[in-house]
Structure 1
Amino acid sequence: MNATPTVTVIGDGQLARMMHTEAIELGVNLRLLAGARDSSAGQVIADVVLGDYRNLDDLRKVAEGVVTFDHEHVPTEHLHALIDDGIAVHPGPEALVNAQDKLVMREKLQEIGAPVPPFAGIQSVADADAFWDSVDGEVCLKATRGGYDGHGVWFPKSKEELEGLVEKLLGENVPLMGEQKVPFVRELSALVARRPSGEVRPWRVVESVQRDGICVEAIAPAPGMDAGLADYCQSLAVKIADELGVTGVLAVELFEYLDEDGMPQVAVNELAMRPHNTGHWTQDGCVTSQFEQHLRAVQDWPLGDVDQTAPVTVMANVLGGDEDPELPMAQRVREVMERYPQVKVHLYGKTYRAGRKIGHVNVSGQSVVKTREIARSAAHFLVTAQWL
């Protein structure tokens, strides 16, 4: 009898939790390195080792089968040590560093010819001043490591404000880069999965709707998108996955903007090497979800079909509101089910906190307008216990 394959996930958030659902169906044992037993993934996965992903001994203690990630923050030197121990790590550290360090990522993307805005490393106030002048003050200042959901990003309104920010942040040992602000008209996301042996499959390009730096909605496929540009975005995601040697799911977040002739163009914003918020729609709107595909890919199994199962699927995040309603979440879910039987609810087992991602809903349909309306209404009720 064949042994049950094991995939070890480093990180205990909702991405690991949703991987577990697919692992059950695939007959894969999911092993988890968790910071706490009551974490989102720790609540539902049986094979849990408590530890710190920054500690090599803890990583060695949990590593079994194939190692993959719920986040990108594991030190790459630890991953090299695991590989030296004979452990398969996907994505590998050479790829993962491009999702950990924005300046490394920008330099690599520029090297392979991917579209990126003008950028520069900022190691002094003088560097910041020079970059400000080079882009006529259109500066986005970024922490090269650790930023997410709008954190670690600043938009100074004057050179003096930029100088003050840079002096303060460098004094706090925050590594910095500057890039030219992109006058984008919307944000897009191109997801792709790649196996170690090279097979690659991209999903349809989606529109990502952001509020305060957090994705609140994903619409698949991106409405009204030029077919040629959509094909280019998919090809770009495949190229980046191949050139960087990514294994598993890769999300390429993009800015869509208009050039001087009014034609739509794209520039790469961020990379994520794991299942991604903008891919949650695939759970209910695609033949193969990003979570199943990630598990297939990291084990070098054949990849699944990525065709959509409906003309439109919309994902709406459930973010903790300013106050937590008295109506229990279970009752809120029931009322959503009663009003909208087509809504698929996904909760993360997280306690309420204002702005926190505590779940999402997926809705598939024929019309973008109607499907978005239902998704927004359902998510709003789960947050507030009130109908729009």
Structure 2
Amino acid sequence: MALRVGVVGGGQLARMMIAPAVELGIELSVLAEQPDMSAHLAASAVGDYRDTDTVLAFARGVDVVTFDHEHVPQPVLHALVDAGIAVHPGPDALLYAQDKLRMRARLDELGMPQPDWAAVSDVAGLQAFIDDHGGRAVVKTPRGGYDGKGVRVVRAAAEAEDWFAALAEDAHGGQLLVEELVEFRRELSQQVARRPSGEVRAYPVVETVQRDGVCAEVIAPAPHVNDRLVATAAQVGVGIAEGVGVTGMLAVELFETTDDRILVNELAMRPHNSGHWSQDGAVTGQFEQHLRAVLDLPLGDASPRRPWSVMVNILGGPAEGAIEDCFAAVMAAHPDAKIHTYGKTPRPGRKVGHVNVVGDDLDDVAYDAHAAASFFEG
């Protein structure tokens, strides 16, 4: 009898689980928000992931439930667990990916390195933090932010007055997260896979390049690193995975500071943009690894196949026509490039796919990846 995995959410991450599921003989089902979502090829149901009855009905047809995103409400997640359904990652772990204030508090309990932070309820509290941290700070909404949304760099508390006003109108009240503005040299990401029985595999730490709050490029492994940094990043990733009980893939986004510290920025408990390189560059790609992990199967080798991999996101897509119209030209000019598309209509700033190139020389690999992705630019 085939193993059955249900994915809540029909985005590109669910889409990229389809191929490894087919290769492993896993029956993959997707609960998509809309019928035309990226993962429509495996969508067995369309419905609201916030509705308990809808999610329960979907989950009863699979062996384990996992996620394309972290937005499923806690009451829905606990209803699945109460019904005896295997949920990976579970609600107690997902809580720390859903709520940044809870994440910061838990990381403090675990002794993880992170920026100075505070929960603030009003303008006065925020201004006090700003004054104590050199006149600048980063303000975040605790829930719902991604790709630069829900994040502001502020010099005065008045710049977040609208967010405080929104909190005041919320029946449940709430607080904003404020963090010190970190002087960082670059951003890194440490991915870890963990299965319910406890086995853990760490991927190489990678460098991520952000543009306008969106990941544009990933270099794997991160260049110009020493053994101490590599060991620290892996220890942080494994420590968080074990400390909060993550099952499946975990991405720990990191700052490498100008004074040579490693600080935790954010967490994602699912396959992640910073791991797309692994589809073509690692012995076991992150999407296969996630399926193995949530099914509690032995984890695969996370080592790179070649010395270097570069992933470049396709943002926006061509100004005219379909993204597939560019395939022939890209393949002819860059036969080593691997193209991954998301089945999305091109739109400025939208992630519609990515290109991976692997090889022995970083300059050559990076050139080919950027050049191949440029064919898709509008």
Compute the TM-score of the two structures, normalised by the length of structure 1.
0.93
Q: Is the 8 A contact 1:8 1:31 kept in 2?
A: yes
CA contact (8 A) 2:123 2:158 kept: no
- What amino acid does structure 2 have at the position aligned with 1:84? D
* Aligned AA (1:380): S
Q: What is the distance in 1 between the residues matched to 2:270 and 2:157?
A: 37
Query: For 2:193 and 2:103, how far apart are their aligned partners in 1?
Result: 19
What SS class does the counterpart of residue 185 from structure 1 fall into? strand
State the alpha-carbon separation in 1 of the partners of residues 67 and 368 from structure 2.
32
Moved over 6 A (4+): none
The CA deviation at 1:369 is 1.6
SS at match of 2:236: helix
Cα distance in 1 for partners of 2:164, 2:197 equals 46
Q: 1:87 to 1:339 in 2, by over 3 A?
A: same
User: How many residues are matched?
Assistant: 373
The answer to whether residue 171 in structure 2 is matched with residue 187 in structure 1 is no
Tell me: CA distance 1:327–1:11, structure 2 relative to 1, closer, same or farther (3 Å). Answer: closer
Aligned residue for 1:301?
Answer: 297
Query: Is the 1:92–1:247 Cα contact (8 Å) retained in structure 2?
Result: yes
1:256 corresponding residue in structure 2: 256
SS state of the match for residue 383, structure 1?
Answer: coil
Comparing 270-279 with 373-382, which one deviates more in the overlay?
A: 373-382
What is aligned with 1:273?
A: 269
2: CA distance between counterparts of 1:233 and 1:225?
11
Counterpart for residue 359 of structure 2? 365
In structure 2, the residue corresponding to 1:155 is in which secondary structure? Answer: strand
Who is 2:76 aligned against?
A: 78
Distance between the aligned counterparts of 1:307 and 1:27, measured in 2? Answer: 24
Alpha-carbon spacing, 1:172–1:207, altered in 2? closer, same or farther (3 Å): farther
| Amino acid paired to 1:314 | V
How high is the sequence identity, in percent, across the aligned residues? 52
1:40-90 per-residue CA deviation (whole Å, 9 max, x = no partner) reads 001x11x51111000000010100210000000001121111111010000
Offset at residue 362 of structure 1 (A): 0.3
Q: Distance in 2 between matches of 1:165 and 1:51?
A: 32
* Matching of residue 332 in structure 1 with residue 326 in structure 2: yes
Could you say what secondary structure the match of 1:126 adopts? helix
Contact 1:320 1:354 in 2 (8 A): yes
Given the superposition, is the C-alpha separation of residues 172 and 382 from structure 1 closer, same or farther in structure 2, using an over 3 Å criterion?
Answer: farther
What does residue 54 of structure 2 align with?
58
2:112 matched residue in structure 1: 114
Task: Please point out which of 300, 311, 314 is paired with 1:315.
Answer: 311
CA distance in 1, matches of 2:359, 2:39: 30
- What amino acid does structure 1 have at the position aligned with 2:280? D
In structure 2, list runs of 5 or more residues that go unmatched. Answer: none
Change (3 A) 1:32 1:175: farther
Shift of 1:98: 0.3
Indicate the SS of the match to 1:382: coil
Deviation of 1:258 after TM superposition, in Å, equals 2.2
1:52-201 alignment to 2 at 5 Å?
A: 52-63=48-59, 64-162=62-160, 164-171=161-168, 173=170, 175-201=175-201
Q: Which amino acid aligns with 1:121?
A: A
Q: Matches of 1:226 and 1:145 in 2, distance apart?
A: 35
In 2, Cα distance between equivalents of 1:96 and 1:122:
23
Match of 1:380 among 364, 374, 377: 374
Per-residue CA deviation, residues 148-185 of structure 1 (Å, 9 max, x unaligned), is 000000111234435x3454443454741101011111
**Cα shift readout 1:237-287 (whole Å, capped 9, x = no counterpart):** 00100000000000000000122xxxx211000000000000000000000
1:4-27 alpha-carbon deviations (Å, 9 max, x no partner): 110010000000000111100010
